[in-house]
Amino acid sequence: MTSDAPTHVFDVDQDNFEAEVLQASLTTPILIDFWATWCGPCKTLGPLLEKLATAFNGAFRLAKIDVDKNQQLAGMFGVRSIPTVILVKDGQIVDGFAGALPEGQLREFLERHLQPRESEDEEAELAPAETPEQAIERLRGEIAESDNSELKLDLALALMKAGQADAAEAELTALPANLATDTRAVRLRSQLDLARALQGAPAQNELQQRVQADPADWQARDLLGVRLLLDGDAAAGLEQFLAVLEKARDWNDGMARKRLLAAFATLDDAELVGKYRRRMASLLF
């Protein structure tokens, strides 16, 4: 970290760890960057994290820990490779990852847990959130300059957010094998499977009317669940799948169970997924 780094980026050692990380995280989330001077990927990741610490305007503080100088701290967190990044809130570890991620994935990681703060200085206000269409244009430009496979995965995700399922699937299919098991790729594949189910399907209002008229219209419940899920009402969609599972477990070759598993793969809300996994298990076993 350079001497002119912003105040929300700071160095941590054994002496100030408890006060600057554990205690400080009770009021402001602390993102810990475990790094070393000899680590090549750390030189890529570190500046990106500092850039995002500035962009998020104090929504979190970035703690830099040199593992060579602080082996005890690295051991306490079970750090086995660097870079390793860990997010601490309210004195507890809430998430983390190993390796140097691209900026898009870093933003996704951070935005799962916190949101950027508005700057009080109008000249330093954050730029408007990037639309999926803007992300597509930006990523295509970056890919033209650099054959980075992770950028291609970012493009597939942006295409899906823009409603371009066919284009997203084409990009996903073209990804190299080493990204096939990436969490985001698996999630996108499940989203595409769900989106395909809606091809030619009735509108949400019509499906709701069908379910009200006949609660045993399993096809309507199934499609309604998919629509609700993809429209962002995850709990309501999962309820539809559970209703089918409870009353017609074997309908359409066990489709309700398949839908639930696909839905779980698309959701980031671990608490919600855990709740509905338990309810699914209680119906199956």
pLDDT computed for residue 128 by the predictor: 64
pLDDT computed for residue 254 by the predictor: 94
Q: Can you give the three-state secondary structure of the chain, one letter per residue?
A: CCCCCCCCEEECCCCCHHHHHHHHHHCCCEEEEEECCCCHHHHHHHHHHHHHHHHCCCCCEEEEEECCCCHHHHHHCCCCCCCEEEEEECCEEEEEEECCCCHHHHHHHHHCCCCCCCCCCHHHCCCCCCCHHHHHHHHHHHHHHCCCHHHHHHHHHHHHHCCCHHHHHHHHHCCCHHHCCCHHHHHHHHHHHHHHHCCCCCCHHHHHHHHHHCCCCHHHHHHHHHHHHHCCCHHHHHHHHHHHHHHCCCCCCCHHHHHHHHHHHHCCCHHHHHHHHHHHHHHHC
Residue-range domain boundaries for the chain: 9-116, 132-196, 204-284
pLDDT computed for residue 116 by the predictor: 63
Q: How far apart are CA 148 and CA 84, in angstroms?
A: 21
CATH 1.10.390 fits 132-196, yes or no: no
Is the overall model pTM greater than 0.95, yes or no? no
pLDDT computed for residue 193 by the predictor: 87
Using a 10 angstrom Cβ sphere, with 0-12 exposed, 13-18 middle and 19 or more buried, the burial of residue 161 is: middle
pLDDT computed for residue 122 by the predictor: 41
pLDDT computed for residue 121 by the predictor: 46
Pairing mode, if any, of strands 9-11 and 61-66? parallel
pLDDT computed for residue 183 by the predictor: 78
Q: CA quadruple 249, 254, 255, 259: dihedral positive or negative?
A: positive
Q: Can you identify the CATH homologous superfamily of domain 204-284?
A: Tetratricopeptide repeat domain (1.25.40.10)
Query: CB pairs under 8 A, 24+ apart, for 77-80?
Result: 77/32, 77/34, 79/34
Per-run averaged pLDDT (10 residues), the chain, 285 residues? 60 92 91 95 92 88 95 90 92 89 87 68 52 89 84 88 87 86 83 88 94 96 94 92 96 94 86 90 88
Q: How far apart are CA 173 and CA 155, in angstroms?
A: 12
Nearest 5 degrees, angle CA 213-CA 215-CA 221? 105
Show which residues are catalytic: 39, 42
Q: What is the CATH number of domain 9-116?
A: 3.40.30.10
